[in-house]
Amino acid sequence: MRHRAVFFDLGGTLFSYRSINSHFDRVLEDMARGRGVGAPLDELRHAYRVAMGTTMASWTARPFYLHRDLFTEAHVRFLRSLGVDAGPEDPDVRFSEGRVLGEPEVAPREDAAATLAALRARGLHVQIVSNIDNDQLEAIWSRIGLGEHVDAITTSEEARSCKPHPGIFRLALEKAGTPPPDEVVFVGDSPWHDVAGANALGMTSVLIGDPPPSDAPPARHVISNLGELLDIVAA
């Protein structure tokens, strides 16, 4: 089958979260040390993973949410798990796009630009479809440096819909000229947000990263680097 478009998730897909690990560590330490918490960094990381996991579990069923609010709640949960009485009104707990994503450090995957350019050279529509707030995207997009290889961007804030909710996928399809979903490839790193949402609409789902857990929605393809897409996408 000939494909007409390839949609990409952003965080974890076109850039790896590993590129901003050191920034996340500094954010956690700043919040904790500023409140007198002396726990080692490994304990802070664990506490944050638990706090974010709990927050995501309670928010993921919502068809739409702002990520500035989600991150703020995760920060509050993180600090309270350390015995700190923090609230969402605290200035350094509130979401800040630069603090959360580490704008100076964020960088694309090594093969991102070449892969996107090759797909567009084949005549395919290339689009970013991301669960991200608009100001968060603006803080990192120029740093990632992929703009010349992308035809459109759809954010969850613009769509008022967060993956896996179908609204964001439908808006992205409109921007691509409304191709049949089975002629669209969707590439992402989340089985529950990217793969599940793409599968529900009949897109060809591609999961990038580690093999998914056994209870995850099954992707049509699993890849370890973006360049592998060139053997999957039929133009």
Structurally, the chain folds into a number of domains equal to: 2
On whether both 192 and 120 belong to a single domain, the answer is: yes
Mean pLDDT of 207-229: 95
Cis peptide before 213 (omega within 30 of 0): no
**Of the residues 37, 72, 101, the one at which a domain ends:** 101
Tokens of 116: 């996107």
pTM of the model: 0.93
CB 128 within 8 Å of CB 150: yes
Average pLDDT, the chain: 93
On whether both 38 and 145 belong to a single domain, the answer is: no
Mean pLDDT of 186-198: 97
**Of the residues 85, 101, 117, the one at which a domain ends:** 101
Q: How many Å apart are CA 153 and CA 142, to the nearest integer?
A: 13
Mean pLDDT of 75-101: 82
pLDDT in tens, 29-55: 999 999 999 999 999 999 999 999 999
**Of the residues 65, 84, 101, the one at which a domain ends:** 101
On whether both 71 and 33 belong to a single domain, the answer is: yes
Tokens of 154: 């759809």
pLDDT band, very low/low/confident/very high, at 103 (cuts 50, 70, 90): low
On whether both 77 and 162 belong to a single domain, the answer is: no
On whether both 70 and 117 belong to a single domain, the answer is: no
Sequence-distant contacts of 77-82: CB under 8 A, at least 24 apart: 77/51, 77/52, 78/28, 78/31, 78/47, 78/48, 78/51, 78/52, 79/31, 79/32, 79/35, 81/47, 81/50, 81/51, 82/32, 82/35, 82/37, 82/39, 82/44, 82/47
On whether both 77 and 40 belong to a single domain, the answer is: yes
Count of CB atoms within 10 A of residue 187's CB? 27
On whether both 80 and 177 belong to a single domain, the answer is: no
Q: Please give the residue range of the domain that contains residue 27.
A: 18-101
Residue 139 pLDDT greater than 90, yes or no: no
On whether both 96 and 113 belong to a single domain, the answer is: no
pLDDT in tens, 10-27: 999 999 888 778 888 888
> Chain centroid to CA 222: how far?
17
pLDDT band, very low/low/confident/very high, at 99 (cuts 50, 70, 90): low
Q: How many Å apart are CA 60 and CA 57, to the nearest integer?
A: 6
Q: What is the CATH number of the domain that holds 159?
A: 3.40.50.1000
Instruction: Give the contacts of 106 (CB within 8 A, at least 6 positions apart).
Output: 15, 19, 20, 140, 143, 144
